[in-house]
Structure 1
Amino acid sequence: MKRIIALILIFVVTQLIIQSNNRLSLSNRVAIENYKNPKDDNWEYIKYRLFDGKTESVYKINPLMDDGPILLELNRATKLDSIAVQEIMEDLRALLPLKTIEYLDDYAGEKISNTSKYKNDWEKKIKDIPYHRLRYSVVPLSFEIADRSTFGAKIKTVLSDGSSIERSNKIKEEGFKREPNSVWFFFKDSISYEKRKQYIQYEFLRTLCFIHPNDLNSYADIANKGVYFSQDYVPQYAKFNEQDKFLLQKLYSENFNEQFKEYMYANYPWRYASNFLNKKLTKAKALIIIVGVGILVFILLFGYFQNKKFKYSFLNYFYPILFIMLNLAYFIQIYGYIIDINSTITWIESLYMIVGATVFTVIISLSLWLFDNLIKKQNLNFTLQLVLKVIFTFVAFNIPMLAVGKGIIQNFQFQESYAPILFIWIALAFGRGLLIYLNHMAQSLVNEKDVELSRLKEANTQSELKLLQSHINPHFLYNALNSIAGLAYKSPEKTEKMALSLSNLFRYSINKKGQQMSTVKEEVLMVQNYLEIEKIRFGERLTFILEVEKTLENEAIPMYILQPLVENAIKHGVSQIRGEGLIVLEIKQEDDNLLIRVIDNGPDFENGLVSGHGLQTVYDLLRLSYGDKASLHWENAPAKHISIIIPKN
């Protein structure tokens, strides 16, 4: 019961968490919260400009070398172009003091631009850096009309005075994401130095990062739009503002990604931050959470249903599968809650999922129940039954899912979502097969142990019975010899008679040696001989009556079951009184049992039955011969007696 309560608590608590956060989608709640409580504008600028909302990866110059330089390669630059570039480099050095910003030739210490000296030997090193790696740090700026033969698409901007700027679009091509864009300027002679510098600065800065096409409605009212404000190229309007400077400083700092993560998790819900930074990683986290909860649920379910049998065999299938289907729906809900910030899951939708899971459970459990009953009647060997059950388990779980699969999985493409569910069905099929196999092996071992234990018990019983019989003979012999010794000087005739009776008793024991059972008639005759001996000893003070139903004389009873009872009646009954003693032995049928009763007129039993070797022998004989099917009890009223009830053969 505790396990079921734990399962219900897990489900209810999680539902409360999901429902409490699903009045609006997470993205809408974040938008409203940002409107009411604005975040840091500089970090928001970075968030929407540098990140695509799917991965924490951002582009910057030479991603292979975090501490690498920023190098420029000029081609056909005029004096004014060179001066403008030099001033731009000085401004950038002041903004990024820890970054090396130089011309390629100056960094290499020799003129290598526009030559094939290094291009034909990519492994040649410059300051211990292979040229093919250093090349990703170089921004090529050309002041001429772009070469039409240059590989890849280009983006062109025509300026108001007829000048134009073109850029390679390599950053958008998968194979060139590491290499900076190349830029070609074609300036009219009439363009001013200030405009020339503005355009060069804009294009140079835009090569240092990649801008994503995210919506920036919250920045629509900014009059002085920055260099990185729009993914589109607008060099004639954009200004290098403070937000652009903040972006560059953070992007080229040593721990940029850590700073951004810290900002996101500090200012946004963890689900939103996690999905924005890395959707793939968030999906992996969601799967880990589901697997963890799934293992916990499985342990609780297995602990509850293991070896549990219900009155109706169909329920042995229905209840476990119901919990499996409910938890599958529950896991789908958790997965969607974690990775989809635009989804909302209402109580009604949760109820639909429960109803759907219950319908599926009826179909699956009924199919498995009917199939298992069918193959059970075919008398197939265990291996074939196991294979068929594994295969049909997989089929049974898949049929209803394939029939309405697209309708049950919310917010996901069916083909993408069904793959992990298919894996779950395979795991369940093989898991069930493993449990069937283990149960079969365990039952086989139990059966073998039961057979072995039965043999050991039987051998032990034989040994104990022989031991008890060996105990009875010396015990009785001791008492009889004492009686003979007491009469030897008083009455030779009685001594002779007692000796002959004792001889008859031992003749009986010798003839029955090795046997465990005797008949009522033979055991009563033994008791009669014993009482004849005791009557010689007690004389007229002892009277005995033997009342045995004739139809029971051939019934089998354990050897020596009667004599200890009669001996106990004499020792603790008749011998304790001065007057006439009476012993009555009754054997009759009562329902389907034999009732054996020994009555005496001695003192009442006090504080329970008188203990002793004789009665312990009777206890042991009953236990070894009948287990818990026989009973022994005693009473003082209406007449003092000891009774044994044993099953009739």
Structure 2
Amino acid sequence: MQGALSIRRSLALFLPVWLMLGLVLAGMVVVATDAGWTNALLFALPMTMVYAFAAGFSAYYLCRAYPLSQKSIWSIVLVLGLAALVSGVLWMAAGLAWNGMLRALEVGWAGLEMPPALKAMVFGLGVILYGLCAVANYLAIEFGRARISERRELESKLMAQEAELRMLRTQIDPHFLFNSLNSISALTSIDPARAREMTLKVADFFRHTLGLEAHTQATVDDEIALVQDFLSIEKVRFGARLAVRCEIDEAARACLLPPMILQPLVENAVKHGIGGLTGGGTVNIVARRDASQLRISVENDVDEDQDSGVPGNGIGLVNVQQRLATAYGHESSVHHARRDNKYRVELTLPARTITEL
């Protein structure tokens, strides 16, 4: 389908150009012979359109047979020069034959006088037009090669980006599993029933995440569902100490983002925020669409005596920053700050849905 459209577009450009050249040739015939415009047009237009296809296809195949990158410039000039001379001679001969047919009609509005100057002009114009066809074909070939090279380079970049995202993504599962096993281990000695419940929920959580492996993007709704699965695991350990509040804008629910991008932020909020509070606290998750941007924030209570930063090695937050930078570049940002015993991480990324891709 694209090939047919490309051919139609090429013809839409090719035919008007040669039609204008036919009009130019007709004007030159009028000046050279004092013939009427009807005679000149009847001679020039059919000649030009026939030559358009003959010279165009001939130059195309020669340019393909003698690519600039593989043949010496002198061999290309020699071959195309000989082809242009032969084409000029053939075009002049075709013009004489066509003019003879027109004159055989013996009407005043058809046929021309063909002085030597006009013959030389037709020959010279044929040589020049053939050379221009060759130049145009070489430009088209090189442009096509450049487009293919750009597409391959883009595909390579996308493959590298996908590999990097996959690598960053694989950091999350072991990190979460390590923290979950520590929690289960702590519960085993004090509450075996809750430890068993948490083990089953962890298994369900990983079963759910395996379904996301084949996807490069998930909706906000999917991410919130995954986060809620994770929080249900943590509630087994924290009980009433862990409160959760979600405010999801309806316009944001269908927006796309990298899968499991929120889970490490919520995990940090629970482990390093709520986990350090004797009385527990609240994790607030807010998602809203702001025109062309999607803004998601994860906020949690922290101990007032805790340092301004969140304790820990920062794997989750750094991973999120790297994944967003790899996926969206300068279109995304991650900001985190502590204020009034609240620690807040806000993500900003392009707001796109499946229908807007």
Name the TM-score, length of structure 1 as normaliser.
Answer: 0.31
Identity of aligned residues (%): 29
1:634 equivalent in structure 2: 336
Aligned residue for 2:339, secondary structure, equals coil
Deviations 1:188-236 (A, max 9, x none): xxxxxxxxxxxxxxxxxxxxxxxxxxxxxxxxxxxxxxxxxxxxxxxxx
1:648 equivalent in structure 2: 351
- The whole-number CA distance in structure 2 between the counterparts of 1:607 and 1:536 is 27
Aligned residue for 1:513, secondary structure, equals coil
Q: How does 1:184-199 map to 2 (within 5 A)?
A: none
The alpha-carbon deviation at position 542 of structure 1 amounts to 2.1
- Code of the residue aligned with 2:192 in structure 1: it is P
CA separation of 1:611 and 1:447: change in aligned 2, threshold 3 A: farther
1:583 pairs, out of 279, 283, 293, with 283
**Which structure shows the higher helix fraction?**
2
The alpha-carbon deviation at position 445 of structure 1 amounts to 6.0
Q: How does 1:11-26 map to 2 (within 5 A)?
A: none
2:164 equivalent in structure 1: 464
The alpha-carbon deviation at position 581 of structure 1 amounts to 2.2
- The whole-number CA distance in structure 2 between the counterparts of 1:476 and 1:610 is 13
1:561 equivalent in structure 2: 261
Residues 272 and 310 in structure 2, CA contact (< 8 A), matched pair in contact too: no
Residues 605 and 636 in structure 1, CA contact (< 8 A), matched pair in contact too: no
CA separation of 1:583 and 1:608: change in aligned 2, threshold 3 A: closer
2:210 pairs, out of 490, 510, 513, with 510
Residues 251 and 289 in structure 2, CA contact (< 8 A), matched pair in contact too: no
CA separation of 1:640 and 1:518: change in aligned 2, threshold 3 A: same
- The whole-number CA distance in structure 2 between the counterparts of 1:608 and 1:470 is 23
- The whole-number CA distance in structure 2 between the counterparts of 1:609 and 1:634 is 13
The count of corresponding residues between Structure 1 and Structure 2 is 226
- Code of the residue aligned with 2:323 in structure 1: it is L
Structure 1 residue 574 and structure 2 residue 274: aligned?
yes
1:600 equivalent in structure 2: 300
- The whole-number CA distance in structure 2 between the counterparts of 1:610 and 1:492 is 28
1:213 equivalent in structure 2: none
- Code of the residue aligned with 1:505 in structure 2: it is F
1:625 equivalent in structure 2: 327
Residues 297 and 345 in structure 2, CA contact (< 8 A), matched pair in contact too: yes
Deviations 1:430-467 (A, max 9, x none): xxxxx999998886665443222111111122222332
Deviations 1:370-428 (A, max 9, x none): xxxxxxxxxxx8x89xx9xxxxxxxxxxxxxxxxxxxxxxxxxxxxxxxxxxxxxxxxx
The alpha-carbon deviation at position 566 of structure 1 amounts to 0.8
Q: How does 1:149-548 map to 2 (within 5 A)?
A: 446-548=146-248
CA separation of 1:525 and 1:466: change in aligned 2, threshold 3 A: same
Residues 596 and 643 in structure 1, CA contact (< 8 A), matched pair in contact too: yes
Aligned residue for 2:260, secondary structure, equals coil
Residues 255 and 294 in structure 2, CA contact (< 8 A), matched pair in contact too: no
- Code of the residue aligned with 1:575 in structure 2: it is G
CA separation of 1:444 and 1:558: change in aligned 2, threshold 3 A: same
- Code of the residue aligned with 1:627 in structure 2: it is G
The alpha-carbon deviation at position 560 of structure 1 amounts to 0.7
Residues 488 and 495 in structure 1, CA contact (< 8 A), matched pair in contact too: yes
Residues 599 and 641 in structure 1, CA contact (< 8 A), matched pair in contact too: yes
The alpha-carbon deviation at position 562 of structure 1 amounts to 0.5
CA separation of 1:504 and 1:437: change in aligned 2, threshold 3 A: same
Q: How does 1:3-152 map to 2 (within 5 A)?
A: none
1:58 equivalent in structure 2: none
CA separation of 1:557 and 1:633: change in aligned 2, threshold 3 A: same
CA separation of 1:611 and 1:632: change in aligned 2, threshold 3 A: farther
The alpha-carbon deviation at position 632 of structure 1 amounts to 0.9
Q: CA RMSD in A?
A: 3.7
- The whole-number CA distance in structure 1 between the counterparts of 2:249 and 2:325 is 25
Residues 587 and 596 in structure 1, CA contact (< 8 A), matched pair in contact too: yes
- The whole-number CA distance in structure 1 between the counterparts of 2:312 and 2:189 is 33
- The whole-number CA distance in structure 2 between the counterparts of 1:580 and 1:486 is 18
Residues 249 and 288 in structure 2, CA contact (< 8 A), matched pair in contact too: yes
- The whole-number CA distance in structure 1 between the counterparts of 2:327 and 2:205 is 23
- The whole-number CA distance in structure 2 between the counterparts of 1:539 and 1:586 is 22
- The whole-number CA distance in structure 2 between the counterparts of 1:563 and 1:598 is 10
Deviations 1:32-79 (A, max 9, x none): xxxxxxxxxxxxxxxxxxxxxxxxxxxxxxxxxxxxxxxxxxxxxxxx
Aligned residue for 2:175, secondary structure, equals helix
Aligned residue for 1:573, secondary structure, equals helix
Deviations 1:245-279 (A, max 9, x none): xxxxxxxxxxxxxxxxxxxxxxxxxxxxxxxxxxx
Aligned residue for 2:213, secondary structure, equals coil
Name the TM-score, length of structure 2 as normaliser.
Answer: 0.54
Aligned residue for 2:190, secondary structure, equals coil
Residues 632 and 643 in structure 1, CA contact (< 8 A), matched pair in contact too: yes
The alpha-carbon deviation at position 611 of structure 1 amounts to 5.4
- The whole-number CA distance in structure 1 between the counterparts of 2:284 and 2:239 is 17
**Greater RCO (Cα-Cα under 8 Å, separation 6 or more):** 2
Structure 2: runs of 5+ lacking an equivalent: 1-55, 61-79, 81-134, 353-357
